[in-house]
Amino acid sequence: MPVLASVPVLAKRALLAALTAVGLVLLVLGLWLTAHLGLSGTATFTTKPASGSVVVLEPSVLNRVDEPVTVTAKAGQGARLWAGLASPSDAKAIVGDAAHTSVTGAQVNGWSLTTKRAGAGDARTATGADVWHATRSGTGSVRITVHQSDAPESLVIASADGAPAALSSLTLTVQHSTWVFQSLLCALVGLLAAAAGIGGLWQLRRHPWSGGGARPDSDRDSEEVAA
């Protein structure tokens, strides 16, 4: 019967269409990642923390990869900023239950940092305590690079006197040389898969009964008459 005879062709056409769709998704994803990571493989995530609270970057974002992580905080011109690295327990003890904004993760879809607000009351960070592994200060901005040798660590950002800082932006940058190759490989695999799928669909369109199924009786009869 014609319907039964066409089943293999329909199945092959569905598989080729699925292969094309998957290939296009991988191609777009690979190109999108490459555009954001650049040839250096640098990922940059940003956010604007809520004002009136100390900012604490948790180990879940600082120590997520094995590569060094650079954190840059910016405020208004002339604002004195301070950043300090400590163990998570020491950072939690110093911040306490005061109002603070925790940075807990990063989202690739929006290249943004995930934050949550907790605590209440005025915070006053003890910038002079001996618990800090490393500290940095600056005017208008402060930058610190977190190496993974002392992980896990938390990073506290406040004003130079320990009070909350009104940050205009918070940026986390991490570079991984293999990311760009992985994104390019994803795009290449997607391109090859899409090309194979489209080529197969084109062949089926030109030779609809090349999928191994029997042709309808009407096609065989027409060939016999022509003979």
d(CA 191, CA 34): 14
Q: Which DSSP category does 129 fall into? A: -
Tokens of 8: 């293999």
Question: What pLDDT, on a 0 to 100 scale, did the predictor assign at position 157?
Answer: 93
Question: What pLDDT, on a 0 to 100 scale, did the predictor assign at position 187?
Answer: 87
- 42-47, strands of its sheet edge to edge: 134-139, 80-86, 154-159, 54-57, 100-107, 112-118, 42-47, 167-175, 69-75, 141-146
Per-residue pLDDT 10s for the chain (227 aa) are 454 445 477 888 888 888 889 989 999 988 888 888 888 888 999 999 888 789 999 999 999 888 899 999 999 888 899 999 999 999 998 888 888 899 999 988 889 999 998 887 766 667 778 889 999 999 999 999 999 888 899 999 998 888 888 899 999 999 887 877 888 888 899 899 989 888 888 887 776 555 444 455 544 444 444 44
Question: What pLDDT, on a 0 to 100 scale, did the predictor assign at position 3?
Answer: 46
pTM of the model: 0.70
d(CA 45, CA 112): 5
Give CA separation, 199 vs 6, 22, 205, in Å: 20, 15, 10
